[in-house]
Structure 1
Amino acid sequence: MIKAITASRWKMPPSKRRWLIIAVIFIAIVFNYVDRQIVSILKPVLKAEFSLDDSGYAVILNIFTICYAVMYPVTGWMVDRFGARLVMFFGIITWSLACIGGGISRTIGQFGFFRGLLGAAEPTNFPAQLKVVTVWFPGKLRATANSLCVAGSSIGAIIAPPVIAWIAISYSWQTAFIAMGAIGLLIAILWRLVYRDPPKDILQEATGSAPVAEEVAFKWKDLWKTKSLWGILLIRFVSDPVWYFCLFWLPGYLQEQSGLTLAQVGMFGWIPFLFADLGAIGTSAWSDKLVRKGYAPLRARKIMLTTVACVSPLCALTPYLSSAWSTLLVFSIVAIACLSWLFTISVVVAEAFPVKNVASVLGIAGGFGALGAVLFNYFVGQFMGTLGAGKIFMAMAFLHPIAILILWTMVRPEKPSVQPVVK
């Protein structure tokens, strides 16, 4: 059976194979996000199980997020150094075992350890995914291919509430962790069977230049001297916390502030993530259309991101809404802006930096985005009850407009001035 799959894989034309690779990455990202969403969906259950308050829950979130932030730059470097195939394979195995570990934990210390391990392993996904998209797809298809990959994040957020709620209600909260981890191990095997590096003709079509091995690239230390790197880091630092709020706090907010039960969150909590997914794929396709019309790729991404960011301040209305349905509606719109930025900032990295540097840059940027989320999680956990939700949502309303200013003033194409490529 395995030999048959391997044989058929080599017979597939590269132009079709790349879409199969995208499909496997999509599946991996779906369950990547289901694994991280389990905690937010089961927030009331876990708070009762481990005797946590909101600040204790925020600590659990930050154990995950700090490990995520620290390892993101490391995994970006690893992808550039060892390749997407190997790094992603071991990443999927590790985060799947960590998810299973969460399900067998009996103390808050054990649970925190496995959430930290999950956070350390999950960043392998996105630098590897961006590297694959960059070397397999040309600029006129890159944003669309990237969005189809990363759409797995919101699809995971869509299916997580009903699936996790059903498993927890029908069996136990522990079963939810163990089942999702087991699925992840199967995905790792699938990735190992399917992925291969692109042939030279596809690689040259994607990069528009000589093979990557011959391309000029920045040394690690020289990356930090580029204005665009600091611009992208600041963008992720200020904009990522809004998406992290949607992932980690919105399901609990719907239960504790809007009056939904766990079963109702399972039935309706996926709605903002469906809107986010469809909207972000659509905005990514729009930016690719602008490229086909003759816009410079980087400028096309900037125009799209600026347009969608204009709706993100709507989140300031949330505390004044009278029903859970109106909260879901507002966050459905806000989530489109969040996910469009999360999708396309990765493509901005690919447009602004040499191919040999894209995974490293995304890794550093993802770490800064997670660091912003750590600080925001702490802020929300400490002040949700004292300052009130209104001030928190008002702070969130300003984050994407700030990111717009940074995008236009700091991000530009960066070209190294020295050779050869550092290996």
Structure 2
Amino acid sequence: MFKSQRWYIVALFFLAGLVNYLDRAALSIAAPLIQQDLHFTHAQLGVVFSSFFVGYAIFNFVGGVLSDRFGAKRVFGAAMAIWSIFCGATALATGIASLIVLRVLFGMGEGPFSSSNSKMVNNWFPKREVASAIGVISSGTPLGGALAGPVVGYLAVRFGWRWAFVGIMLLGLLWLVAWVTTTTDEPRDHPRISRSELELIESGQQQRDTSTAGAIDEESAPLTHFLRKPLVLATACAFFAYNYVLFFFLSWFPTYLTEAHHLSLRDMSIATVIPWLLGSVGLASGGFISDAILKVTGRPLLSRRIVLGVCLGASALCVALAGGVQSTSGAVALMSVSIFFLYVTGSVYWAVIQDTVPRRHVGGVGGFVHFLANLAGVIGPAVTGFIVQAAHGSYASAFVLAGGIAVAGAVCSIVGIREPRPAGVRVGRAW
């Protein structure tokens, strides 16, 4: 499978996702040391966590539009360079103001990650492989989160938390060399692609373009037409719920383990590996599960809706219970199962966009959905910080809130992600 050029690009994106979450999770792993060194309160730390998502959410949309206009290769390469540099620059922070500015700029660099890789997949894959490709790509992100614990924990303890950020910056810049020298935006421009692979890709894309036809000529419709569609907005709402739970875990779970369960930085770094590893399995398998259901039902949106409804609901139950257990092993186990089910849905949001949007708008619509979804990152970590501070260090209410939002996302996906009615048809009346 990975001998083909399209799966080579997936492998590169997988590694990029690993670096992406290694960079992103570094702050939460080092947070106890940073909080002590820079004298942050819980509320201030929550604001620092959220500041990343201000730049990130805005450039989800900007990056998607730029990918449609200038090509995903160029946009993604620039994004990797920017986020790597500002990850390393985190070492220069001297207080809350400088750290917030650096995190916003870091977030701007990471913003185009998902929308530009979705655009690249749209260019390189036939419809029947889209969710599987996105699932494999996305599975690199929790693996990066898993590595962040031991890698950042070791570097922070051995050399200080500042050098940990410099070290992981170098990995991103090394990856960038491979990306620039071995990829192209379009399969037909790649010097090493085989004729059979190119024919497979182009025939699969013709089928996908035909399947996106709707009540109007959507191939010529403006971007704003798709941004207003109820199906797109429902996908964004479900994605918001996914991100709320994910960023609650990413930002606060390490600190929760050190404060509520009194783990050392070393033990906390090891404990956080387990949920990330299960999440990686969930992401890798989620796209294949959704595509397998598609083969049985022949209905793309039904297959996506089944996965979203079941798995978001299961994740909600586990995260709501995780904050109420007394044992460390119980909290880690419940959070691990929650992250597994959550990540099974990770590729499905993008698959819905691929199923319903013409190729020329995939980047813009994907970026818009990702922007709305990542408002959860702006809101969630800060809200959690204020909840914990108001509750005198208790995290129980924050876990329950995360579970409630996941339930709302499951309901939204079941109700709103449905096949459009044929043109000229209204419920109860034929035109």
Same fold (TM over 0.5): yes
Give the drift of 1:225: 2.8
2:127 is equivalent to residue 127 of structure 1: no
Cα deviation code 1:74-130 (max 9, x no counterpart): 111111111110000100000011011111333433322221111001021111111
Q: For 2:26 and 2:218, how far apart are their aligned partners in 1?
A: 42
Q: Judging changes above 3 Å, is the alpha-carbon distance between structure 1 residues 374 and 59 closer, same or farther for their aligned structure 2 residues?
A: same
Amino acid at match of 1:79: S
Calculate the TM-score normalised by the size of structure 2: 0.88
Cα deviation code 1:199-235 (max 9, x no counterpart): 26344233234989x9915312222331112112222
2:379 is equivalent to residue 381 of structure 1: no
Query: After the TM superposition, which residues 313-328 of structure 1 pair with which residues of structure 2 at under 5 Å, given as runs?
Result: 313-328=317-332
For residue 308 of structure 2, the aligned residue among 292, 305, 310 is 305
Q: How many correspondences in the alignment? A: 404
For residue 242 of structure 1, the aligned residue among 229, 241, 245 is 245
Give the drift of 1:315: 1.6
Moved more, 396-405 or 248-257: 396-405
Computed over aligned residues only, the root mean square deviation of the Cα atoms, in angstroms, reads 2.3
Aligned match of 1:198: 187
Provide the secondary structure at the position in 2 that maps to 1:311. Answer: helix
2:40 is equivalent to residue 52 of structure 1: yes
Moved more, 97-106 or 119-128: 97-106
Aligned match of 1:180: 168
Provide the secondary structure at the position in 1 that maps to 2:221. Answer: coil
Contact 1:319/1:389 (<8 A) preserved: yes
For residue 86 of structure 2, the aligned residue among 73, 98, 111 is 98
Q: For 1:30 and 1:183, how far apart are their aligned partners in 2?
A: 10
Contact 1:101/1:111 (<8 A) preserved: no
Aligned match of 1:363: 367
Aligned match of 1:157: 145
Moved more, 69-78 or 306-315: 306-315
2:7 is equivalent to residue 19 of structure 1: yes
Contact 2:322/2:334 (<8 A) preserved: yes
Q: Judging changes above 3 Å, is the alpha-carbon distance between structure 1 residues 151 and 415 closer, same or farther for their aligned structure 2 residues?
A: farther
Could you tell me which runs of 5 or more consecutive residues in structure 1 were left unpaired when the two chains were aligned: 1-12, 418-423
Q: For 2:177 and 2:330, how far apart are their aligned partners in 1?
A: 42
Contact 1:99/1:178 (<8 A) preserved: yes
Provide the secondary structure at the position in 2 that maps to 1:242. Answer: helix
Give the drift of 1:245: 0.8
Moved more, 249-258 or 353-362: 353-362
Q: For 1:146 and 1:416, how far apart are their aligned partners in 2?
A: 29
Q: For 1:164 and 1:185, how far apart are their aligned partners in 2?
A: 18
Query: After the TM superposition, which residues 76-115 of structure 1 pair with which residues of structure 2 at under 5 Å, given as runs?
Result: 76-115=64-103
Q: Judging changes above 3 Å, is the alpha-carbon distance between structure 1 residues 217 and 393 closer, same or farther for their aligned structure 2 residues?
A: farther
Provide the secondary structure at the position in 2 that maps to 1:320. Answer: coil
Amino acid at match of 1:292: K
Contact 1:216/1:416 (<8 A) preserved: no
Aligned match of 2:290: 287
Give the drift of 1:389: 2.1
2:339 is equivalent to residue 341 of structure 1: no
Aligned match of 1:31: 19
Give the drift of 1:294: 4.2
Cα deviation code 1:275-302 (max 9, x no counterpart): 1111232232122112223431221121
Provide the secondary structure at the position in 2 that maps to 1:218. Answer: coil
Give the drift of 1:413: 5.1
2:415 is equivalent to residue 409 of structure 1: yes
Q: Judging changes above 3 Å, is the alpha-carbon distance between structure 1 residues 310 and 409 closer, same or farther for their aligned structure 2 residues?
A: closer
Query: After the TM superposition, which residues 270-281 of structure 1 pair with which residues of structure 2 at under 5 Å, given as runs?
Result: 270-281=273-284
Q: For 1:50 and 1:122, how far apart are their aligned partners in 2?
A: 25
Could you tell me which runs of 5 or more consecutive residues in structure 2 were left unpaired when the two chains were aligned: 189-197, 211-216, 424-431
Sequence identity of aligned pairs in percent? 23
Calculate the TM-score normalised by the size of structure 1: 0.90
Q: For 2:353 and 2:382, how far apart are their aligned partners in 1?
A: 29
Q: Judging changes above 3 Å, is the alpha-carbon distance between structure 1 residues 246 and 319 closer, same or farther for their aligned structure 2 residues?
A: closer
Amino acid at match of 1:162: P
Aligned match of 1:420: none
For residue 225 of structure 1, the aligned residue among 223, 228, 240 is 228
